[in-house]
Amino acid sequence: MDQKALIAAIADQVRAQLDGESSGHDWWHIVRVWRMARRIGGSYNVNMLVIELAALLHDIADWKFHDGDEEIGPRTARSMLEKYHVPDQVIQAVTGIIRQISFKGAAGIRSIPSTLEGGIVQDADRLDAIGAIGIARAFAYGGYAGNSMHDPESAPAIHANQEAYRSNRSTTINHFYEKLLLLKERMNTPEAREIALNRHEFLRDYLDRFSKEWDGLA
């Protein structure tokens, strides 16, 4: 099977599995990450097959919905790729990326992928959490999780550790301070950083406007 056919087959399976998912990891999130990862990857001498497969499979199974089992994603991806006889070297690169890219939340914990391909997929995934789409995803997730949109009496918390981030039930506006506004400093490539700066400005403008409207000033 050639690379194009393999990618198409994996994309079909991911689509079937994630279509209509409502916590922010739906198929269209995958499509955006896939496209952005290809765009950033285009500036580098990288293994584009690894990038595309990792982008497609990076959210195939999330520890947050499987009792914190962090191996569920890499394991699921591996078994899908093995069915297509993908070389083990490629499978290892892809599962390694899936393992490394998820945001662990706590202030001091930064998971920096060990390969450029991983850094690029992580950048693409993080870019989808900021800007206009990031805002939409945050409120969609908040609704899904049953969190309030905003509570002026609850301050944002920077989580001390991963456990605290996982069990966090704060408001969606707090999520901007706990995660979204931190992402521009965490891009791995200059290409992503430039896009992130622009999206970050948009988040800032949005928060200003939100607070003005909240106070009845705009």
Binding mask 115-134 for Ni ion (x = CB under 5 A): ----------x---------
Q: Which residues bind ligand ADP (CB under 6 A)?
A: 24, 59, 102-103, 125, 129, 134, 137-138, 141-142, 147, 168, 172, 175, 179-180
SS3 at position 112: coil
Residue of 130, 155, 135 whose CA lies nearest to 210: 135
Nearer to ligand ADP, 63 or 84 (CB): 63
Q: Which residues of 127-151 are buried (b: 16+ CB within 10 A; e: fewer)?
A: bbbbbeebbebbbebbeeeebeeee
In angstroms, the Cα distances linking 60 to 36, 87, 92, 158 are 18, 20, 16, 27
How near is the Cβ of 91 to ligand ADP at its closest, in Å? 21
How near is the Cβ of 85 to Ni ion at its closest, in Å? 27
Nearer to ligand ADP, 62 or 84 (CB): 62
**Residue with CB nearest ligand ADP?**
24
Spatial distance between the Cα atoms of 202 and 208, rounded to a whole number of angstroms: 10
Binding site for Ni ion (CB under 5 A): 59, 125
